[in-house]
Chain A
Amino acid sequence: MNPTTAMQTESKTSPSRYTILDRETPRLKTLLGRWESLLAMLFIVVFAANSIALPHFLDLYNLLDGTQNFSEKALIALPMALLIICREIDISVAGALALSSVAMGAAMGAGFPAESLPLVALATGTACGFLNGVLVTRFALPSIVVTIGTVSLYRGLASVVLGDNAFTGYPQLMADWGQGYFFGIVPREFVVLLVCAALFAVLLHTTSWGRRIYAIGNNPEAARFSGIAVDRYRLALFMLTGAMAGLAAFLLTGRIGSTRPNIATGWELEVITMVILGGVSIAGGAGTIAGVMLAVLTMGTVTYGLSLANIPGIYMTIVVGVLLLATIALPKLLRMRRAR
């Protein structure tokens, strides 16, 4: 066979003269190999196992009520995912949440109307995020260091205002949002979470603003050289994270009806766990909102199952830790075995 015929036969088999080699054809195997698919399967397995093992698991009312346990944390996980994709991290979220909650209590004490309290929380959270962002971007400090400092600052300020009392007696409006239901069955918090998740997904996956976050996470220097205002994105993301912590503070304070000194302790690690379990790479540049939401639902189902089975909450930390380690170690172990 001479070269010309070879070329002709080739041009007959493929419609265009060149084939794009770096784009994989969509195959079931690659689809199933995606992190989100694995998470979805894990979620289904956990859900099915729970419904078989626990007789009262599949009660629609209980199930929907169970979402309240994770809705506030998940609200903070959404912007945290964006931050981690962008190669930053915020350890101070629980501190910002506590400070926002205290700010609402103080504002209520000062006679602010009930409608202004969510704004107070959002403003406080945003201010906390702004301080983090300024310290990170202006002074070129690593965010993990800055936020380790600000977490004790925020929590400290909250305890200065709070002293050893607790703020209680919040207006009905806050209870409505923290404990209320839509149509008498769907918790409002869960609806807020779903709406926010949809907004974040659109923002991250369909806008150029979102694409640039990936670009920054993949290579901040290259992103800067290609004309992205990297520091503005970072500052905006820190402020967004603070604002969401403020929103979470509004809902959480409404749900438990008080501000106590130990509000939301240890949440930063749970939130970060949700994000990483959701397949967001700690090295930056990769991750989806769908993955984070699936991780949130999986963790929520596990917690709900454990609480139905009367297992103390601290076992949950073990389960979450093992889940986190297993999900990142298993793919590595399988690949190592295959390489041998």
Chain B
Amino acid sequence: MTLFKQREPLLAAMVVLLIMAVGLKEPAFLSAGSLANVVTDSTLLVMLALTQMLVIVTRGVDLSVASNLALSGMVAAMLGANVPGLPLPLIVLTAVAVGLLLGLVNGWLIGYLELPPIVVTLGTMSVYRGAVFVLSGGAWVSAHQMPAPFIAFPLERLLGLPHLVWIAAATLALMAWVARDTRFGRDLYAIGNAPQCAGYIGIASHKRLLWTYALSGAVAGLCGYLWVARYAVAYTEIAYGFEFTVIAACVIGGVSIGGGVGTVLGAALGALFLTVIGNALPVLQVSPFWQSALTGLVILVAVLINARGTGRRSRQILPLHGLDAKPHRSAA
């Protein structure tokens, strides 16, 4: 049973069990259409969780993904609305380029200036979010302003599956290859495990970190277009707070926030898990007011399950201040 000692099979089993449990209560949830919906809904979270995983593996965190997504999405939506003749691939490329650029800013500050990732991405998160407002003047870009192919693309089907799913699958394959089989990916694990040693054995940490955050940004840019097109609206508050969902997906997927540990499959399953819960609660007719509380509870439980055995610590060798006030205690 070594299979179940690993995180990914356990997590996959949790996802399946959850789907079954919901299906028992509400059989409609198990229909092909409903399950396909879950997969489609999970795509954006999966893609963002994958790159966030690479970032967290290097002991970093990218809090600016949601703001980056909003800004790139707004750029794409405004391009689509204001330049009607523009071919769609060009719009998508622009969104990816904007995301990449924003990611490079993070990467430069974190990689080359060696600033703490939490602080840097906290700062850029505010700046990017504010920039969405500056760019749009606070106005919405709604469905009727965007060209029809722009909106239709994410849910159009290729060989029976929506483009969204294909894109997410391609991202999954690409990231799995990057993380497992490329020098770049292996270096990220080395950096996360022992940053000092990584430097000594000749890993160019600066460059690696730069491109990790750039990758995170580029995928956020792509997701920006997909998000705006899928929900057919762009506004300042888009994906507000989504960065925490992305990080939660990674953590549930067994990515250690301390760096060096994490798999692509785990992050994807973590994202799928959160999406299943998000989709199951309305089906079970749980009041929307309970949904946030239950999501929080589930995150905590999943984290607790994941963390079994990590609490091992070295032995205390000196008596504790305060606790040792009673002198006879140690004699017992």
Give the interface of A toward B (CB within 8 A).
Answer: 89, 91, 135, 139-142, 144-146, 148-157, 159-160, 162-164, 212, 221, 224-229, 232, 269, 272-273, 276, 282-283, 312, 314-318, 320-322, 324-325, 328-329, 332-333, 336
Contacts and interface: CB of A to CB of B under 8 A. Distances in A.
B323 A229 contact: yes
Nearest to B118: A282
Interface in B293-324: 293-297, 299-300, 303-304, 307, 310-311, 313-314, 316-324
Contact of A141 (B129, B289, B304, B321): B304
Contacts of A142: 257-258
Contact of B133 (A145, A226, A314): A314
Given A148-B247, A149-B248, A320-B126, 15 more contacts: A140-B310, A148-B251, A150-B300, A152-B295, A156-B291, A156-B294, A229-B320, A315-B134, A317-B127, A318-B131, A321-B125, A321-B127, A325-B127, A332-B113, A336-B113
Contacts of B300: 135, 146, 149-150, 153
A163 B134 CA distance: 34
Contacts of B114: 332
Nearest to B315: A225
Nearest to A148: B244
Contact of B292 (A135, A156, A312): A156
Interface of B: 61, 109, 113-116, 118-120, 122-127, 129-131, 133-134, 138, 236, 244, 247-248, 251, 257-258, 287, 289-297, 299-300, 303-304, 307, 310-311, 313-314, 316-324
Contact of B289 (A154, A163, A325, A332): A163
10 contacts: A149-B300, A152-B292, A155-B296, A156-B294, A160-B287, A226-B318, A227-B321, A229-B321, A276-B122, A314-B129
7 tightest Cβ-Cβ pairs between the two chains A and B: A156-B293, A153-B296, A321-B126, A156-B292, A318-B130, A140-B311, A152-B296
Contacts of B118: 89, 282
Contact of A272 (B115, B122, B303, B320): B122
A314 B130 contact: yes
A269 B296 contact: no
A329 B126 contact: no
A324 B115 CA distance: 12
A139 B293 contact: no
